[in-house]
Amino acid sequence: DVRKHFAESWEWLSRDIVAYMSVIIIVLASTASLVAVTLMPRFAQDTLDIPVRNAIFVFLPAAVGVVAGLRLVHWLERRMAQAWLVGGGFMLLAASFACLALVGPFGDILQNANPFGFFDPGPFGDTSARIAVTIMFSTIAAFSFSVAGVASRSLVNQRIPLETQRRVFAAHVVLTNLASIPPILLAGLISELLGVEPVMFFTMLVLVGAAGWALARALSRPQPMDHAEAS
């Protein structure tokens, strides 16, 4: 029954390119977040040079991004198509993770900043500058993930028949679990050899490439049904 229901939900998604891509993108975004959580202890230790037990204080402000995303997503939906919100949220998430992979250079810029000549050489030390940059980009990442997730679920609710939605959301969970296992294992292994930053950057390149490949495949299929048919 599980395989049958998954096949039926996938068939429905395949008929509607917008719903299909929204599910694919949120699966990739969920995979990125799981990889980031897996790498967080090593990132705190190797990049931020702080004890792993203190990492929670660095990433706790990201909860502000989640709350802000939940509060603003409905306002954004009234001014922008939901498909654009999903895609834009994913691209902002990818950019945020890429910037987290470049915390070192961004931290050096912040450390050397000397606004109005009040500080010499700057108001931040090496560690505090990297922590500040990490807080900023992790908060942006949490905000973009929250917006993309809510917009994706709302879009599926609108375009997929009610009796099929449970199977679609179940397929989303199954896809997320299956898609995240290889990246998590590989990221943990490769980070031992190359470090955290290259793995984070390469992971986002792969996930963005996977989104582009899925979109190209969807566009190469026959035209999907329109919104009226989906409803």
Q: Which two tokens stand for residue 58?
A: 């660095």
Give 43-85 pLDDT, tens digit per residue: 988 888 888 888 888 888 888 999 998 888 888 888 888 888 8
pLDDT in tens, 98-125: 899 899 888 888 877 765 555 566 667 7
Question: How distant, in Å, are the alpha carbons of 34, 75, 76, 228 from that of 79?
Answer: 30, 7, 5, 22
Query: Is there a contact between 58 and 135 (Cβ–Cβ < 8 Å)?
Result: yes
DSSP one-letter string for 95-132: HHHHHHHTHHHHHHHHHH--GGG-SSS-S--HHHHHHH
Place of tokens 């090496």: 126
Residue 135 is predicted with a pLDDT of 92
Interval 147-161 mean pLDDT:
83
Is the pLDDT reported for residue 222 higher than 70? no
pLDDT digits (tens, 9 = 90+) for 129-152: 889 899 999 999 999 999 998 888
Q: What is the pLDDT of residue 227?
A: 44
Q: What are phi and psi of 20, to 5 degrees?
A: -60, -50
Mean pLDDT of 189-199: 85
Give long-range contacts, CB 8 A cutoff, 24+ apart: 222-229.
Answer: 224/14, 224/15, 224/16, 224/17, 224/18, 224/20, 225/15, 225/16, 227/158, 227/159
CA–CA distance, 46 with 20 (Å, rounded to integer): 38
% of the chain with per-residue pLDDT over 90? 10
